[in-house]
Amino acid sequence: MKLVVINPNSTQSMTDKIIASARAVAGHGIEIEGRTAHGAPASIEGHFDEVMCAAHLLREVREAETAGADAIVVACFDDPAIGACREIATGPVLGICEAGIKAASMIATSFSIVTTLPRSVPIIEALVREYGLAHLCRRVRSAEIPVLALEEHGSNTRRLVRDEIRRAVEEDGCEAVVLGCAGMSDLTEWLSRETGVPVIDGVTVATKFAEALVGSGLGTSKFGAYATPNRK
């Protein structure tokens, strides 16, 4: 089985991190292929960046399909262009927000999300509503850090994320925390240890859920909204 994990922004160091997370959990005999949306913005911080990444992301999906991908993970917490990806894919396509919060809902009765910048909060809140889990989401929080600060060595971002998780537990009374950015993927284990609460990384669970769907014989439904795009 071949799972393709696409970083929809153009920052290679983020792709490397994401791939490492996916490979760390991939099942026996499963190939993880990483792809970077070269040409896209360096990070996705808002709707505009999402759009500027989307066509590059779709190009990678097409190439992944051609190269025999069994499933695709889109590794950005805004779940950009997931519907479009599903239209051109045959296997399952998973965004890390959807995977992260659905995993949270399987192990806890409530969760909070900790993301990077405040401007992403309403975007994630809208996703949580559409995925149907607003009643379990205590709060979407921002650690007030730009996405690319997560790539800088020696920065104090990991401490800021940890402190925000601790506030989530204390103030929201949540039972689990979902990391709201693919760039936090490498911090998951450290954050779990530091905070004691289950910390969920969307990249990890999206990889495993994609594997699970393929293993269940399921691909994207071609009946209706996700049918192959019409020729003009």
Binders of a copy of itself in range 72-111 (CB under 8 A): 81, 83-84, 86-88, 92, 94, 98, 102-103, 105-110
Contact region for a copy of itself (CB under 8 A) — 12-20, 39-47, 150-158, 178-186? Answer: 39-47
Distance of closest approach, residue 54 Cβ to a copy of itself, in angstroms: 4
Question: Interface with a copy of itself includes 227 (CB under 8 A)?
Answer: yes
Query: Six-digit token pair at 113?
Result: 């999300």
Question: Interface with a copy of itself includes 134 (CB under 8 A)?
Answer: yes
Binders of a copy of itself in range 5-24 (CB under 8 A): none
Q: How many alpha carbons lie under 13 Å from residue 198 in its C-beta half-sphere?
A: 17
Question: Interface with a copy of itself includes 2 (CB under 8 A)?
Answer: no
Q: Cα–Cα distance between 3 and 22 in angstroms, integer? A: 9
Binders of a copy of itself in range 140-179 (CB under 8 A): 146, 148, 169, 173-176
Which of 55, 144, 155, 190 binds a copy of itself (CB under 8 A)? It is 55
Distance of closest approach, residue 171 Cβ to a copy of itself, in angstroms: 14
Strand stretches in 24-81, DSSP E: 31-36, 71-74
Q: What is the DSSP letter of 189?
A: H
Which of 2, 47, 158, 167 binds a copy of itself (CB under 8 A)? It is 47
Question: Interface with a copy of itself includes 45 (CB under 8 A)?
Answer: yes
> Between residues 16 and 149, which has the closer beta carbon with respect to a copy of itself?
149
Distance of closest approach, residue 67 Cβ to a copy of itself, in angstroms: 19
Residues in CB range of 77: below 8 A, 6 or more apart: 95, 96, 97, 100, 115, 120, 124, 179, 180, 181, 182, 202
Distance of closest approach, residue 91 Cβ to a copy of itself, in angstroms: 9
Residues in CB range of 93: below 8 A, 6 or more apart: 61, 71, 72, 73, 74, 82, 85, 86, 220
Distance between start and end Cα atoms, the chain: 33
Question: Interface with a copy of itself includes 213 (CB under 8 A)?
Answer: yes
Question: Interface with a copy of itself includes 220 (CB under 8 A)?
Answer: yes
Determine the longest span between alpha carbons in the chain, in angstroms. Answer: 54
Q: Is the dihedral of CA 115, 117, 123, 129 positive or negative?
A: positive
